[in-house]
Amino acid sequence: MRIEPVIQGVVARTAHPLGCEQAVLQQIEYVKSAKPITQGPKRVLILGASSGFGLAARIALTFGGANADTIGVSFERGPSEKGVGSAGYFNNLAFKKFAEREGHIAVNINGDVFSDAVREQVVEAIETYFEGEVDLVIYSIASGMRRKPGSDEFWRSAIKPIGDAVSGATIVLENDTWVDTTLEPANDEEIDSTLHVMGGEDWESWIDTLINNESIAPGCKTIAFSYVGPSITHPIYLDGTLGRAKIDLHQTSHSLNLKLANFDGGAYATVCKALVTKASVFIPGLSPYMLALYRVMKEKGTHEGCIEQMHRLFSDKLYSHTSVPVDGERLVRMDDWELNPNTQQRVREVLAEMNGSNFQQMGDYAGFKAEFLRLNGFGFDGIDYDADVDLERF
């Protein structure tokens, strides 16, 4: 069948398997040419490994000098009568193929990261493939819902402000339009549910499970990804339900750090740059800022995608020092280039002029949308998108 990009709102409904493979390959080629990761981990568990920062971290650690073996957990759908399959499904297949081709262990576990069954599979895989221990655990989960333990009910996250309504604009990728929106404040139940889904509770529970199963190696580290952003994004992000959950994640890193100190290891919340991911495009009011940021950072030559961010994290921060460089709140700051004062001043100037009539010209909308399409396997040179794809091969 011929696969074309189909976008509904800000959700991709199709993915191209050959394009996803090319996306993985290009990231591999980048890390092989970059500064090598030295003294990196050899046995890595990635919870949320199929796209964005999780996939980039897996690629960087396997092919960027550390030569790590990996277990990747994600919840992806393959080809079926209902659709062609998700980009993450094809990313996992491509990564495994390229990793095993170079002699690396690459285990893919497809299932709900919040379920007991998946935990049992992970512990068994660690015992089978990693001699029972992991050196690094990456928590990169971006889910809108989480099953309550021992129940058929779910917590559902809500991306809303807290206290007061907030107005902003969202870019609808489906039809390239600017939509002004006003978000009403979250109620207490929505705040609490978002904390359960996107805070640090599940991260800590996973580490506790690994400790209890004696799966933590000496010196083991764990990281989880976060975002803070500049003051202009705080009303919808840091001061809202998402920010409240991320603050909980940061606090969780401190308790986990104490636990892993018993293994001479550590736990860190890693604050990343604003980037186009399957999760970030859902955040109302953030896309105009990202259009301006992409334009400014590309002009300054400081723009990074997920793979550049992750490779710099491991080569320059997490494994290049006797101690991990952190700020006063024990956060690893990968958003240092984004929050450069000159960069932010220029971003504010661009945003002041941006509106629904000129956003495609004022911001880097072309780059923003092209990056979104590439997340789903579209827009790569050398691929005949008019050709039929035999999905039975995947």
Residue 277 assigned to a binding site:
yes
Residue 367 assigned to a binding site:
no
The pair of structure tokens assigned to 228 is: 């803070």
Residue 349 assigned to a binding site:
no
Residue 199 assigned to a binding site:
no
Q: Give the DSSP H or E segment for 170.
A: strand 166-172
d(CA 237, CA 255): 24
Residue 137 assigned to a binding site:
no
Find residue 155's DSSP bridge partners.
Answer: 146
The pair of structure tokens assigned to 266 is: 């550590």
Find residue 121's DSSP bridge partners.
Answer: none
Residue in this structure with the two tokens 């979250």, named with its chain if needed = 186
Residue in this structure with the two tokens 């129940």, named with its chain if needed = 151
Residue 142 assigned to a binding site:
yes
Q: Are strands 106-110 and 216-226 parallel, antiparallel or unpaired?
A: unpaired
Listing DSSP states for 96-131 in one string gives HHHHHHTT--EEEEES-TTSHHHHHHHHHHHHHHST
Residue 246 assigned to a binding site:
yes
Residue 144 assigned to a binding site:
no
Residue 50 assigned to a binding site:
yes
Q: How far, in Å, are 66, 252, 269, 292 from residue 318 at the CA level?
A: 12, 18, 11, 29
d(CA 64, CA 32): 5
Residue 256 assigned to a binding site:
no
Q: Could you give phi then psi for residue 179, rounded to 5 degrees?
A: -120, 120
Residue 54 assigned to a binding site:
no
Decide if 44 contacts 136 (C-beta within 8 A). Answer: yes
d(CA 376, CA 15): 5
Q: How far, in Å, are 223, 280, 355 from residue 170 at the CA level?
A: 30, 12, 11
* Three-state DSSP state, 44: strand
Going by C-beta distance under 8 Å and a sequence separation of 6 or more, which residues neighbour residue 362? 291, 292, 295, 350, 353, 354
Residue 76 assigned to a binding site:
yes
Residue 326 assigned to a binding site:
no
Decide if 61 contacts 68 (C-beta within 8 A). Answer: yes
State yes or no: is 385 an active-site residue. no
* Percent helix, percent strand, percent coil in the chain, to nearest 5: 40, 20, 40
Residue 116 assigned to a binding site:
no
Among 89, 237, 294, 365, the active-site one is 237
Q: Which residues are annotated as a binding site for NAD(+)?
A: 48-53, 75-76, 112-113, 141-142, 246, 275-277
Residues belonging to the active site: 237
Q: Which residues are annotated as a binding site for substrate?
A: 227
Q: Which residues are annotated as a binding site?
A: 48-53, 75-76, 112-113, 141-142, 227, 246, 275-277
